[in-house]
Amino acid sequence: MTDTAIGEAGWCCLNGIGRALVSLIPSDWEFSPVSVNWVSDTNSMQTVDIGNYWTPESVETLLRDAPAPLDSWRRLEKLAKARCIELVFAADAFASLKGHPFVSGATHRLLLFVLDTLNRFKSCFASDGRLTAEGHEVYRDFFTGKRRRWGSWRPVLRCVGQREAPVRAGNDIQAPEEYR
């Protein structure tokens, strides 16, 4: 397992994209969970614990219990409407995807990041119509400044393991290229 893999998994988990880690044995990574801290530009920190699997039995169970991957635009539409209950979709919201080859990576970006972020933002208003503290954070993180374009958001992750080695304190990890 590499720092980059941990960083990518942490970033995905913090953004609603389910991930787990698989380690080979013997290794220095035979513990679970692996904690990842995301440090924003304003030095606020969020922590996520990622399940780590290293025995053949635990990996087999993980794979058996994992949800089936999306394999069509139609399934994406159904899942988006079921998952993003704060959003209202036009009847033809997904019509432009029909006729195009299905691309799994695009579904993760669209559904599991963009739509989930919009869904989260929609629920961040108090009864008086003002943004909540979480709403201000989402607005700042995704809609303003250099990050206002979805593709330019570049979080930095710092990995913090339950043991000192091999993770070094303060080890900065850039989000994977596909999420920048």
Q: What is the DSSP string of 134-153?
A: HHHHHHHHHHSGGGSSGGG-
What confidence score (pLDDT) does residue 13 get? 85
Domain of residue 95: give its range: 3-179
Distance between CA atoms of residues 83 and 99, nearest Å: 24
The low-confidence residues of the chain, meaning pLDDT below 50, are 148-180
- Provide the number of structural domains found in the chain: 1
Task: Residue 162: name the closest of 3, 8, 31, 22 by CA.
Answer: 31
